[in-house]
Amino acid sequence: MKQSIRSVYNFNAGPSALPLPVLEKAQQELVDFRGTGMSIMELSHRSKAYDDVHNEAIARLKRLFSIPDNYEVLFLQGGASLQFSMIPMSFLNPGQKAGYVMTGAWAEKAFDEAKLFGEPYQVASTKENNHSTIPGVNDLQYNEDDAYVHLTSNNTIYGTQWKEFPDTGDVPLIADMSSDIMSKPIDVSKFGLIYAGAQKNLGPSGVTVVIIRKDLLERSNQEIPTMLNYNTHAKSNSLYHTPPTFGIYMLGEVLRWIDELGGLEAVAKQNEEKAKLIYDVIDGSGGFYRGHAEPESRSLMNITFKLADESLEKKFLDQAKEAGFVGLNGHRSVGGCRASTYNSVPVEACLALSEFMTRFQKNNS
Ligand code: PMP
């Protein structure tokens, strides 16, 4: 990949790195979009030129993620955070229960929103071990009449990730995939609804991807504001109102880039390789670096670690910054270090970080 010519190694947690070829193409097309004489940002969202971009992005997303025909792909706004509210508003009625798997701060936010509408409860929690694990797929205590079960597929702050998903039978499984959507192939048919802000794996901020099974659309509560009703957007192909056109264009181009890499199998292989470069340094450091997540629950997207000698942490982060590494500070709520290695982060950046970490240990032990 050509990304090595960039001046920094971007490990931001989101918004985060975008593929250089995508940025370059966007730059090239910015002023005159494909012969229209206008920027994509200046086109009507009802124009043929924009419609092609919009529909191609949806079609490519469906194909790359192997989304079955009984699902709709929606491009919404409001981030994953608005989904925390739209989900219970649509599917959870007063007095009704929904199970939430509590694996971190984002799950807690989703849970708190659900309390405004019905009776969410915890089907499992990893709070006791400071969210360093993922519950076993058979350890979820939900009820057959729950409105849904909600989980967070990748915990951005703690650096844990589900490796396989539970089978919840007739109870719809809903997943916040904000930080690992399309980082590997998954069986979409296990889920009633998947949602993700685009700004980590798929594009810039401002677009929220929702993948919803059609029977859930039919079942959803209709006595809610128009803009918060999934049906409004499903019926109008996400063009009920003005969509974030530039963000959707960028998302489409990131998907094209994924396609050209060889699709999600290729992306997954690369993501494994990237994460291994860094986890190997942590594991081989004799305790100098300490990973937060237990090895079997480790995320391939957010690698969280501390230095055993806490007094060295600032020096580590300062020197890393000087060496061109961006975004290595842990989330402000937990501290430590975090390297986010989303789809668009090149292998070279991870290799450079692993070498830097090895060198830093050598110079400071
Ligand atoms: N869920 C997860 C797992 C996240 O990582 C984030 C953002 N970091 C959010 C939800 C919130 O997303 P947004 O900022 O798009 O509302």
DSSP 230-266: HHHHHHTTT-SS---HHHHHHHHHHHHHHHHHTHHHH
Q: What is the mean pLDDT of residues 340-353?
A: 98
Which of 177, 179, 202 maximizes ligand 1 atoms within 8 Å of its Cβ, making it the mutation to test the pocket? Answer: 179
Q: Based on the fold, state whether residues 298 and 276 are members of the same structural domain.
A: yes
Separation between Cα atoms, residue 330 and residue 104, nearest integer Å: 14
Q: Is 77 in the pocket of ligand 1 (CB under 6 A)?
A: no
Say whether both 166 and 239 belong to one domain: yes
Query: Closest ligand 1 atom, CA of 156?
Result: 5
User: Is pLDDT above 60 for 238?
Assistant: yes
For residue 186, the model assigns a pLDDT of 98
When computed from its CA atoms, the radius of gyration of the chain, rounded to whole angstroms, is: 21
Closest CA to ligand 1's atom 4: 178
Q: What is the mean pLDDT of residues 118-147?
A: 96
Over residues 174-190, the mean pLDDT reads 98
Catalytic residue among 162, 180, 184, 200: 200
Please state the rounded mean pLDDT for residues 305-324: 97
- Pocket test residue of 156, 180, 207, 334 for ligand 1, highest count of atoms within 8 A of CB: 156
Active-site residue, 146 included: no
Residue 172 reports pLDDT greater than 50: yes
Residue 14 lies inside a defined structural domain of this protein: no
What digits encode the pLDDT tens for the residues 80-117? 999 999 999 999 999 999 999 999 999 999 999 999 99
Which residue would you say has higher pLDDT here, 141 or 289?
Answer: 289
The CA distance from 155 to 179, in Å, is 7
Ligand 1, atom 14, lies closest to the CA of 79
Number of structural domains found in the chain: 2
Tens digit of pLDDT for each residue in 23-37?
A: 999 999 999 999 999
- Distance between CA atoms of 60 and 253, rounded to whole angstroms? 10
Question: At 154, which CATH number?
Answer: 3.40.640.10
**Could you read off the pLDDT of 264-303 as tens digits, one per residue?**
999 999 999 999 999 999 999 999 999 999 999 999 999 9
Residue nearest to atom 15 of ligand 1 (CA): 79
Q: Give me the phi and psi of 240, to 5 degrees please.
A: -60, -40
Q: Which CATH number is 354's domain given?
A: 3.90.1150.10
**Of the candidates 259, 274, 292, which is a domain's last residue?**
259
Ligand 1 centre from 301 Cα, in Å?
14
Considering the domain architecture, whether residues 335 and 224 belong to the same structural domain is answered as no
pLDDT at 6: 85
- Amino acid 332: pLDDT: 85
pLDDT band at 4 (very low <50, low <70, confident <90, very high): low
Residues 221 and 279 in one domain: no
Closest atom of ligand 1 to CA, residue 78 = 16
Is the distance from the beta carbon of residue 178 to the nearest atom of ligand 1 less than 6 Å? yes
Whether residue 303 is found in the same domain as residue 159: no
Query: What residue numbers bound the domain in which 269 lies?
Result: 263-364
- Res 334: pLDDT: 87
The closest residue, in CA terms, to atom 9 on ligand 1 is: 80
For ligand 1, say whether the CB of 179 is within 6 Å of any of its atoms: yes
70 located within any domain: yes
Nearest residue (CA) to ligand 1, atom 12:
80
Does the global pTM surpass 0.95?
Answer: yes
Cβ proximity of 60 and 255 under 8 Å: yes
Asked if residue 98 is part of any domain, the answer here is: yes
Tell me: the pLDDT tens digits for 38-97? 999 999 999 999 999 999 999 999 999 999 999 999 999 999 999 999 999 999 999 999
pLDDT of residue 2: 37
Looking at every residue in the chain, the average pLDDT score rounds to 97
| C-alpha triplet 46, 52, 58: angle, nearest 5° | 105
pLDDT at 313: 96
Residues 240 and 269 in one domain: no
Q: Are residues 157 and 94 in the same domain?
A: yes
In short, whether 80's Cβ falls inside 6 Å of ligand 1 is yes
Q: CB of 299 closer than 6 A to ligand 1?
A: no
Is 200 catalytic? The answer is yes
| Model pLDDT for residues 334-345, shown as the tens digit of each residue | 889 999 999 999
Cβ–ligand 1 distance for 197 under 6 Å, the answer: yes
